[in-house]
Amino acid sequence: MGISKRGDTYLRTLLIHGACAVIRIAERRADHTQDWIPRLLSRRNKNVAAVALANNNARIVWALLKHDRRFEADYTPVVAAA
C-alpha cells in the first residue's frame, strides 16, 4: 500500500529520509541483523523499499502513541487466554 499523500508533508519526508539512511547502512552491513530489509531490497528498488520501511515505521509510531507506550526492541505481545 505505501504511504498516502494525506497529512503532514514534512513528517512524511522525514520518515522517508530516515528510511533511506537505514537502507544505506543495511546495505553495508554483513551480519544482516534485520532480515526484512535485505529481502525487500532483493525484490524492489531502493526508493520503493524506503517508502515501505517509512510506512512500517509510521505504523509503529502510531501504535506507540495510541497505546501510550515506549518502544522496546525486544517486545513480544502477550497473548490473552481464551
The confidence score (pLDDT) of residue 7 equals 84
Model-level pTM?
Answer: 0.78
pLDDT level of residue 1 (50, 70, 90 thresholds)? low
CA dist 14 and 81 (Å) reads 40
Assigned C-alpha cell, 41 = 531490497
CA angle 70, 72, 76 (to 5 degrees): 120
Whether pLDDT at 2 is above 70: no
80, pLDDT greater than 80: no
Query: Using one digit for the tens of pLDDT, what is the confidence trace for 47-79?
Result: 999 999 999 999 999 999 999 999 988 888 788
Residues 38, 26: contact at Cβ < 8 Å? yes
Q: What would the 3-class secondary structure string for 32-70 be?
A: CCCCHHHHHHHHCCHHHHHHHHHHHHHHHHHHHHHCCCC
Q: Each residue of 9-54: pLDDT tens digit?
A: 999 999 999 999 999 988 887 776 567 888 888 899 999 999 999 9
